[in-house]
Amino acid sequence: MVFLVLIGIAISVVLLSNSSPIGGVTLFLYILCFPGFFIVEPNKAAVLLLFGKYEGTVKANGFYWVIPFITKKKISLRVRNFENKPVKVNDKIGNPVMIGTIVVWQVEDTFKTSFDVDDYENFVHLQSDAAIRKMAGLYPYDNFEAEEAEVTLRSGVEDVNHSLEKEIGERLHHAGIKVIEARISHLAYSSEIASAMLQRQQATAMWLHAKR
């Protein structure tokens, strides 16, 4: 197409030099073809729209041409990650705890990402935060106050991370986002009860030692 456009422009210039009115029309039409050229870089995609109608997505990297009236929206397909700063949430028995997480994700369905949510990056952050709050309510921080608990936030790292990853994945699926990994990066009692819980744990440990 590049070759045809360049040849067409050259012919149009020759026609114009010969004072042919057709040369001006054809030159304008060939110049109009230039906005149709676009490049897709590795791990990126171009979502194509024609007068508001979705025409498809180009994911293979390369140099392309489409009719100039088609608009092109670039979306990154690269693996991305972000770290949620510790947020205060309540565990299963109501204790305030601070939890920070790391989420690794990438765009999987460009149609959903482009048209089912307004801002997919902000959507990832908001839904991840909501998932953390829900997941924290499923487990106690430890088994000092919930001795019957088999899985706690503190001891059941693999189970908790799996639960978090599943919860975030289900929420982000609606936006065409695939969650590759989600895990807790920070876990502690909230500051207002941290010292009291530490004293209680120390007292419990001393009692168990004395009992032995």
> Are 38 and 64 in contact, with CB atoms under 8 Å apart?
yes
> Where is the domain boundary, 60, 76, 92?
76
User: In terms of domains, do 55 and 10 share one?
Assistant: yes
Percent of the chain with pLDDT over 90: 46
pLDDT tens-digit profile of 62-92?
A: 999 999 899 999 999 999 998 888 888 888 8
Among 76, 98, 131, residue at a domain's last position: 76
Question: In this structure, how many other beta carbons lie within 10 angstroms of the beta carbon of residue 110?
Answer: 21
Please tell me the predicted confidence (pLDDT) of residue 106: 95
Read off the pLDDT of each residue in 151-176 and give the average, rounded to a whole number.
89
Based on the fold, state whether residues 44 and 123 are members of the same structural domain.
no
The size of the chain, in residues, is 212
46 & 146 share domain: no
Mean pLDDT of 107-130: 92
Judgement on whether residues 90 and 34 belong to the same structural domain of the protein: no
Residue 98: burial class (beta carbons within 10 Å; 0-12, 13-18, 19+):
middle
Burial class of residue 94 in the structure, from the number of CB atoms within 10 Å of its CB (0-12 exposed, 13-18 middle, 19+ buried): exposed
* Domain co-membership, 25 together with 102: no
Residues 192, 114 share a domain: yes
- For 107, other C-beta atoms within 10 Å of its C-beta total 24
Judge if 92 and 154 occupy the same domain.
Answer: yes
pTM (whole model) above 0.85: no
- Three-class secondary structure of residue 85 per DSSP: strand
The tens digit of pLDDT for each residue in 160-170 reads 899 999 999 99
Return the pLDDT at 198. 61
Burial class for 2, CB neighbours closer than 10 Å (0-12, 13-18, 19+): exposed
CATH number (domain holding residue 132): 3.30.479.30
Do 121 and 148 sit in the same domain of this protein?
yes
Q: Which domain holds residue 148?
A: 80-211
Out of 76, 100, 116, pick the residue that ends a domain: 76
- The per-residue pLDDT for 207 is 44
